[in-house]
Structure 1
Amino acid sequence: MEQQPHFFFALRLPEETKLVLKKHIERMKETIPFRRWVHHQDLHITLVFLGAVPPEKLAALLRHVKEVLLDTKAFSLKINALGFFGHEDSPRVFWADTEESPPLQAIRGKVFTTCERAGFQLEKRPFRPHITLARKWKGEDHFQKEELGVWTKLQPEPLSFQANEVVLYQTHLTKTPKYEAIAVFPLHN
Protein backbone atom coordinates (compact mmCIF):
# COMPACT_ATOMS: atom_id res chain seq x y z
CA MET A 1 0.00 0.00 0.00
CA GLU A 2 1.39 3.39 -0.99
CA GLN A 3 1.86 5.91 1.80
CA GLN A 4 -0.09 9.17 1.55
CA PRO A 5 2.09 12.17 0.79
CA HIS A 6 2.83 14.55 3.65
CA PHE A 7 3.01 18.33 3.34
CA PHE A 8 4.69 21.12 5.28
CA PHE A 9 5.26 24.87 5.00
CA ALA A 10 8.87 26.03 5.15
CA LEU A 11 11.15 28.95 4.55
CA ARG A 12 13.17 28.09 1.45
CA LEU A 13 16.90 28.70 1.60
CA PRO A 14 18.47 30.45 -1.40
CA GLU A 15 20.48 28.22 -3.73
CA GLU A 16 23.81 29.86 -2.85
CA THR A 17 23.16 29.25 0.88
CA LYS A 18 22.35 25.59 0.17
CA LEU A 19 25.64 25.25 -1.71
CA VAL A 20 27.65 26.73 1.18
CA LEU A 21 25.89 24.37 3.59
CA LYS A 22 26.53 21.45 1.21
CA LYS A 23 30.26 22.19 1.38
CA HIS A 24 30.12 22.36 5.20
CA ILE A 25 28.13 19.10 5.37
CA GLU A 26 30.73 17.32 3.24
CA ARG A 27 33.45 18.42 5.67
CA MET A 28 31.41 17.46 8.76
CA LYS A 29 30.60 14.01 7.34
CA GLU A 30 34.31 13.19 7.53
CA THR A 31 34.39 13.37 11.35
CA ILE A 32 30.82 13.44 12.68
CA PRO A 33 29.06 10.08 12.08
CA PHE A 34 25.31 10.36 11.51
CA ARG A 35 23.30 7.69 9.71
CA ARG A 36 21.54 10.03 7.26
CA TRP A 37 22.70 13.42 6.04
CA VAL A 38 20.15 15.70 4.38
CA HIS A 39 20.54 16.31 0.64
CA HIS A 40 21.46 19.98 0.19
CA GLN A 41 18.41 20.59 -2.03
CA ASP A 42 16.19 19.54 0.91
CA LEU A 43 17.63 22.10 3.37
CA HIS A 44 14.93 24.44 4.73
CA ILE A 45 13.41 25.88 7.92
CA THR A 46 10.11 24.16 8.72
CA LEU A 47 7.33 26.54 9.72
CA VAL A 48 4.37 24.14 10.03
CA PHE A 49 4.12 20.38 9.49
CA LEU A 50 0.70 19.36 8.15
CA GLY A 51 1.00 15.62 7.49
CA ALA A 52 -1.38 14.00 4.99
CA VAL A 53 -3.96 16.43 3.58
CA PRO A 54 -6.94 15.86 1.25
CA PRO A 55 -6.52 17.83 -2.02
CA GLU A 56 -9.64 20.01 -1.51
CA LYS A 57 -8.57 21.01 2.01
CA LEU A 58 -5.08 21.80 0.71
CA ALA A 59 -6.41 24.04 -2.10
CA ALA A 60 -8.46 26.10 0.37
CA LEU A 61 -5.52 26.39 2.76
CA LEU A 62 -3.21 27.63 -0.01
CA ARG A 63 -5.63 30.46 -0.82
CA HIS A 64 -5.68 31.54 2.85
CA VAL A 65 -1.89 31.35 3.27
CA LYS A 66 -1.38 33.36 0.08
CA GLU A 67 -3.70 36.03 1.48
CA VAL A 68 -1.97 36.31 4.89
CA LEU A 69 1.50 36.49 3.30
CA LEU A 70 0.50 38.99 0.61
CA ASP A 71 2.20 42.03 2.15
CA THR A 72 4.94 40.18 4.03
CA LYS A 73 8.44 41.49 3.46
CA ALA A 74 11.62 39.52 2.78
CA PHE A 75 14.19 39.71 5.56
CA SER A 76 17.77 38.84 6.39
CA LEU A 77 18.54 35.75 8.45
CA LYS A 78 21.82 34.43 9.85
CA ILE A 79 22.92 30.85 10.50
CA ASN A 80 25.28 31.04 13.44
CA ALA A 81 25.74 27.71 15.24
CA LEU A 82 25.05 23.97 15.37
CA GLY A 83 22.73 22.14 17.75
CA PHE A 84 20.93 18.86 18.26
CA PHE A 85 17.70 17.26 19.47
CA GLY A 86 17.67 14.05 21.45
CA HIS A 87 20.05 12.47 23.92
CA GLU A 88 23.28 14.33 24.43
CA ASP A 89 25.38 11.21 23.82
CA SER A 90 23.47 10.04 20.70
CA PRO A 91 21.43 12.84 19.07
CA ARG A 92 18.55 11.98 16.75
CA VAL A 93 18.68 15.32 14.85
CA PHE A 94 21.75 17.46 14.10
CA TRP A 95 20.96 20.99 12.91
CA ALA A 96 22.15 24.49 12.07
CA ASP A 97 20.75 27.27 14.23
CA THR A 98 19.60 30.74 13.23
CA GLU A 99 19.97 33.95 15.16
CA GLU A 100 16.79 35.24 16.81
CA SER A 101 14.52 36.77 14.17
CA PRO A 102 11.26 38.60 14.89
CA PRO A 103 10.30 38.55 11.16
CA LEU A 104 10.73 34.75 11.07
CA GLN A 105 8.63 34.37 14.21
CA ALA A 106 5.94 36.62 12.69
CA ILE A 107 5.78 34.64 9.43
CA ARG A 108 5.62 31.37 11.33
CA GLY A 109 2.82 32.82 13.47
CA LYS A 110 0.81 33.86 10.40
CA VAL A 111 1.13 30.45 8.72
CA PHE A 112 0.51 28.52 11.95
CA THR A 113 -2.63 30.52 12.83
CA THR A 114 -3.97 30.19 9.28
CA CYS A 115 -3.50 26.41 9.38
CA GLU A 116 -5.20 26.15 12.78
CA ARG A 117 -8.16 28.24 11.57
CA ALA A 118 -8.45 25.89 8.60
CA GLY A 119 -8.96 22.99 11.01
CA PHE A 120 -5.49 21.43 11.11
CA GLN A 121 -4.31 19.78 14.33
CA LEU A 122 -0.77 21.12 14.73
CA GLU A 123 2.09 20.31 17.06
CA LYS A 124 2.07 22.63 20.08
CA ARG A 125 5.78 22.50 21.00
CA PRO A 126 7.47 25.90 20.96
CA PHE A 127 8.81 26.90 17.55
CA ARG A 128 12.57 26.28 17.37
CA PRO A 129 13.75 27.46 13.94
CA HIS A 130 16.54 25.25 12.60
CA ILE A 131 17.91 23.63 9.45
CA THR A 132 18.15 19.85 9.82
CA LEU A 133 21.54 18.63 8.55
CA ALA A 134 21.58 14.98 9.66
CA ARG A 135 19.63 12.34 11.57
CA LYS A 136 20.44 9.41 13.87
CA TRP A 137 23.85 9.28 15.52
CA LYS A 138 25.78 6.17 14.45
CA GLY A 139 29.12 6.74 16.09
CA GLU A 140 30.74 3.93 18.05
CA ASP A 141 31.59 6.48 20.73
CA HIS A 142 29.20 8.95 22.32
CA PHE A 143 28.55 12.26 20.61
CA GLN A 144 30.71 14.99 22.08
CA LYS A 145 29.17 18.45 22.45
CA GLU A 146 32.55 19.87 21.43
CA GLU A 147 31.68 18.69 17.90
CA LEU A 148 29.32 21.68 17.71
CA GLY A 149 32.36 23.97 17.65
CA VAL A 150 33.21 22.80 14.14
CA TRP A 151 30.79 25.44 12.82
CA THR A 152 33.07 28.34 13.77
CA LYS A 153 35.96 26.60 12.00
CA LEU A 154 33.91 26.12 8.83
CA GLN A 155 32.07 29.45 9.01
CA PRO A 156 33.92 32.01 11.17
CA GLU A 157 31.19 34.64 10.60
CA PRO A 158 27.43 33.91 10.69
CA LEU A 159 26.14 32.79 7.28
CA SER A 160 23.71 35.50 6.14
CA PHE A 161 21.00 35.06 3.55
CA GLN A 162 17.87 36.80 2.33
CA ALA A 163 14.70 34.90 3.28
CA ASN A 164 12.35 35.62 0.41
CA GLU A 165 10.09 32.59 -0.10
CA VAL A 166 7.68 30.49 1.92
CA VAL A 167 7.05 27.15 0.23
CA LEU A 168 4.58 24.32 0.62
CA TYR A 169 6.59 21.13 0.21
CA GLN A 170 5.38 17.60 -0.48
CA THR A 171 7.48 14.72 0.84
CA HIS A 172 8.52 11.85 -1.48
CA LEU A 173 10.18 9.29 0.78
CA THR A 174 11.54 7.18 -2.08
CA LYS A 175 13.23 10.04 -3.98
CA THR A 176 16.39 12.09 -3.51
CA PRO A 177 16.00 14.99 -2.99
CA LYS A 178 12.75 14.10 -1.27
CA TYR A 179 10.95 17.45 -0.96
CA GLU A 180 9.00 18.89 -3.91
CA ALA A 181 7.83 22.51 -3.93
CA ILE A 182 4.07 22.45 -4.55
CA ALA A 183 3.35 26.16 -4.00
CA VAL A 184 5.67 29.16 -3.58
CA PHE A 185 4.75 32.37 -1.75
CA PRO A 186 7.24 35.15 -2.54
CA LEU A 187 8.07 37.64 0.20
CA HIS A 188 8.39 41.17 -1.12
CA ASN A 189 11.54 43.32 -1.00
Structure 2
Amino acid sequence: MFPTKYLKLQLLINRNKLIRINRKIHQINLNQCRLPIATATTSLLNRKNLTLKCENLQKKFSTENESLDSIHFEKVCEETLESLTEYFEELIENAKHLNEADVSYSSGVLTVDFGLPYGIYVINRQSPNKQIWLSSPTSGPKRYNFVSEENCWVYKHDGVSLHQLLQEEITKIVGAEVDFNKCTFSKV
Protein backbone atom coordinates (compact mmCIF):
# COMPACT_ATOMS: atom_id res chain seq x y z
CA MET A 1 0.00 0.00 0.00
CA PHE A 2 1.35 3.43 -0.94
CA PRO A 3 1.11 6.46 1.30
CA THR A 4 -1.19 9.17 0.03
CA LYS A 5 1.53 11.78 0.52
CA TYR A 6 4.28 12.34 -2.02
CA LEU A 7 7.13 9.86 -2.00
CA LYS A 8 10.54 11.21 -3.03
CA LEU A 9 12.89 8.76 -4.77
CA GLN A 10 16.35 8.84 -6.29
CA LEU A 11 16.34 6.86 -9.54
CA LEU A 12 18.92 5.84 -12.08
CA ILE A 13 17.27 6.87 -15.30
CA ASN A 14 16.89 4.55 -18.27
CA ARG A 15 14.08 4.68 -20.77
CA ASN A 16 11.17 2.40 -19.78
CA LYS A 17 12.81 1.57 -16.44
CA LEU A 18 11.18 -0.99 -14.20
CA ILE A 19 11.21 0.02 -10.55
CA ARG A 20 10.10 -1.78 -7.42
CA ILE A 21 8.01 0.12 -4.89
CA ASN A 22 6.57 -1.72 -1.88
CA ARG A 23 7.24 -5.11 -3.50
CA LYS A 24 5.30 -4.24 -6.67
CA ILE A 25 6.90 -3.76 -10.09
CA HIS A 26 5.93 -0.65 -12.06
CA GLN A 27 7.00 0.22 -15.59
CA ILE A 28 7.71 3.91 -15.98
CA ASN A 29 8.34 5.69 -19.26
CA LEU A 30 11.04 8.29 -18.70
CA ASN A 31 11.52 9.51 -22.26
CA GLN A 32 11.84 13.14 -21.17
CA CYS A 33 14.64 12.49 -18.67
CA ARG A 34 18.03 12.59 -20.36
CA LEU A 35 20.49 12.83 -17.46
CA PRO A 36 21.78 9.79 -15.59
CA ILE A 37 20.17 10.99 -12.37
CA ALA A 38 16.83 12.62 -11.79
CA THR A 39 14.80 13.30 -8.69
CA ALA A 40 11.49 11.61 -9.18
CA THR A 41 8.44 12.62 -7.17
CA THR A 42 5.66 10.07 -7.28
CA SER A 43 2.11 10.20 -6.10
CA LEU A 44 -0.51 7.51 -6.11
CA LEU A 45 -3.61 8.34 -8.14
CA ASN A 46 -5.12 4.98 -7.30
CA ARG A 47 -3.69 1.56 -6.54
CA LYS A 48 -3.04 0.77 -10.21
CA ASN A 49 -1.75 4.07 -11.60
CA LEU A 50 1.49 5.76 -10.73
CA THR A 51 2.48 9.19 -11.99
CA LEU A 52 6.05 10.37 -12.18
CA LYS A 53 7.50 13.83 -12.61
CA CYS A 54 11.21 14.14 -13.41
CA GLU A 55 13.26 17.12 -12.36
CA ASN A 56 16.73 16.87 -13.87
CA LEU A 57 19.68 17.67 -11.67
CA GLN A 58 21.88 20.02 -13.68
CA LYS A 59 25.22 18.82 -12.32
CA LYS A 60 28.28 18.00 -14.35
CA PHE A 61 30.55 15.42 -12.83
CA SER A 62 34.29 15.34 -13.38
CA THR A 63 34.23 12.28 -15.64
CA GLU A 64 31.86 14.15 -17.94
CA ASN A 65 33.53 17.53 -17.51
CA GLU A 66 36.32 17.94 -20.03
CA SER A 67 37.45 21.22 -18.48
CA LEU A 68 38.83 19.37 -15.44
CA ASP A 69 42.21 18.34 -16.79
CA SER A 70 44.59 15.99 -14.98
CA ILE A 71 46.75 18.76 -13.53
CA HIS A 72 43.77 20.65 -12.10
CA PHE A 73 42.29 17.39 -10.75
CA GLU A 74 45.53 16.47 -8.98
CA LYS A 75 45.74 19.94 -7.41
CA VAL A 76 42.10 19.94 -6.23
CA CYS A 77 42.39 16.38 -4.96
CA GLU A 78 45.64 17.01 -3.08
CA GLU A 79 44.25 20.14 -1.41
CA THR A 80 41.08 18.28 -0.42
CA LEU A 81 42.92 15.32 1.10
CA GLU A 82 45.47 17.48 2.95
CA SER A 83 42.67 19.64 4.36
CA LEU A 84 40.76 16.56 5.51
CA THR A 85 43.92 15.13 7.09
CA GLU A 86 44.48 18.29 9.14
CA TYR A 87 40.84 18.42 10.26
CA PHE A 88 40.74 14.74 11.25
CA GLU A 89 43.93 15.23 13.29
CA GLU A 90 42.33 18.20 15.05
CA LEU A 91 39.13 16.24 15.78
CA ILE A 92 40.98 13.24 17.19
CA GLU A 93 43.26 15.42 19.30
CA ASN A 94 40.22 17.09 20.92
CA ALA A 95 38.20 13.88 21.49
CA LYS A 96 39.32 12.31 24.77
CA HIS A 97 37.62 8.95 24.10
CA LEU A 98 39.55 8.51 20.81
CA ASN A 99 42.98 8.23 22.41
CA GLU A 100 43.89 5.19 20.27
CA ALA A 101 42.73 6.76 16.99
CA ASP A 102 45.26 7.40 14.23
CA VAL A 103 45.39 9.51 11.05
CA SER A 104 47.86 8.88 8.23
CA TYR A 105 48.18 10.39 4.76
CA SER A 106 50.59 9.21 2.10
CA SER A 107 50.61 8.98 -1.70
CA GLY A 108 47.02 10.09 -2.10
CA VAL A 109 45.59 7.74 0.55
CA LEU A 110 44.11 9.13 3.78
CA THR A 111 43.47 6.51 6.48
CA VAL A 112 41.57 7.42 9.64
CA ASP A 113 41.49 4.59 12.18
CA PHE A 114 39.06 5.47 14.98
CA GLY A 115 39.64 2.12 16.69
CA LEU A 116 36.97 -0.18 18.05
CA PRO A 117 34.00 -0.01 17.74
CA TYR A 118 34.07 2.76 15.09
CA GLY A 119 36.30 1.28 12.40
CA ILE A 120 38.56 2.66 9.70
CA TYR A 121 37.79 5.29 7.06
CA VAL A 122 39.88 5.28 3.88
CA ILE A 123 39.70 8.22 1.47
CA ASN A 124 41.86 8.00 -1.62
CA ARG A 125 42.56 9.63 -4.96
CA GLN A 126 41.63 7.74 -8.14
CA SER A 127 43.46 9.68 -10.86
CA PRO A 128 42.38 7.58 -13.89
CA ASN A 129 38.70 8.14 -13.00
CA LYS A 130 39.22 11.69 -11.69
CA GLN A 131 37.45 10.68 -8.48
CA ILE A 132 37.92 10.45 -4.75
CA TRP A 133 36.89 7.12 -3.28
CA LEU A 134 35.63 6.69 0.26
CA SER A 135 35.44 3.47 2.22
CA SER A 136 33.32 4.03 5.31
CA PRO A 137 32.57 1.46 8.03
CA THR A 138 29.12 3.06 8.32
CA SER A 139 27.92 3.77 4.78
CA GLY A 140 30.24 1.55 2.74
CA PRO A 141 32.14 2.43 -0.45
CA LYS A 142 31.37 5.55 -2.49
CA ARG A 143 32.98 7.30 -5.47
CA TYR A 144 32.95 11.08 -5.53
CA ASN A 145 33.21 13.30 -8.61
CA PHE A 146 34.31 16.92 -8.49
CA VAL A 147 31.45 19.25 -9.46
CA SER A 148 33.07 22.43 -10.78
CA GLU A 149 29.91 24.55 -10.53
CA GLU A 150 29.55 23.78 -6.82
CA ASN A 151 33.28 23.49 -6.11
CA CYS A 152 32.85 20.26 -4.12
CA TRP A 153 32.96 16.45 -4.33
CA VAL A 154 29.57 14.78 -4.91
CA TYR A 155 28.41 11.15 -4.98
CA LYS A 156 26.34 11.13 -8.16
CA HIS A 157 23.90 8.42 -7.04
CA ASP A 158 22.45 10.41 -4.14
CA GLY A 159 23.74 13.97 -4.69
CA VAL A 160 25.36 14.11 -1.22
CA SER A 161 28.76 15.75 -0.94
CA LEU A 162 31.77 13.97 0.58
CA HIS A 163 32.03 16.53 3.36
CA GLN A 164 28.30 16.35 4.13
CA LEU A 165 28.46 12.57 4.58
CA LEU A 166 31.57 12.87 6.76
CA GLN A 167 29.86 15.57 8.83
CA GLU A 168 26.92 13.24 9.56
CA GLU A 169 28.99 10.14 10.34
CA ILE A 170 31.91 11.69 12.21
CA THR A 171 29.62 13.75 14.48
CA LYS A 172 28.33 10.45 15.91
CA ILE A 173 31.85 9.10 16.44
CA VAL A 174 33.33 12.23 18.01
CA GLY A 175 30.24 12.85 20.14
CA ALA A 176 30.31 16.58 19.47
CA GLU A 177 29.51 18.98 16.66
CA VAL A 178 32.00 18.93 13.79
CA ASP A 179 32.29 21.41 10.93
CA PHE A 180 33.69 20.02 7.69
CA ASN A 181 32.96 23.39 6.06
CA LYS A 182 36.39 24.38 7.40
CA CYS A 183 37.93 22.02 4.84
CA THR A 184 38.94 22.92 1.30
CA PHE A 185 36.38 22.18 -1.47
CA SER A 186 33.69 21.49 1.08
CA LYS A 187 29.92 21.86 0.87
CA VAL A 188 27.82 20.75 3.82
TM-score higher than 0.5 here? no
The structure showing larger relative contact order (alpha-carbon pairs under 8 Å, at least 6 residues apart) is 1
Which has a greater percent of helix?
A: 1
Task: With the length of structure 1 as denominator, give the TM-score of the two structures.
Answer: 0.29
- State which structure, 1 or 2, has the greater radius of gyration over its C-alpha atoms: 2
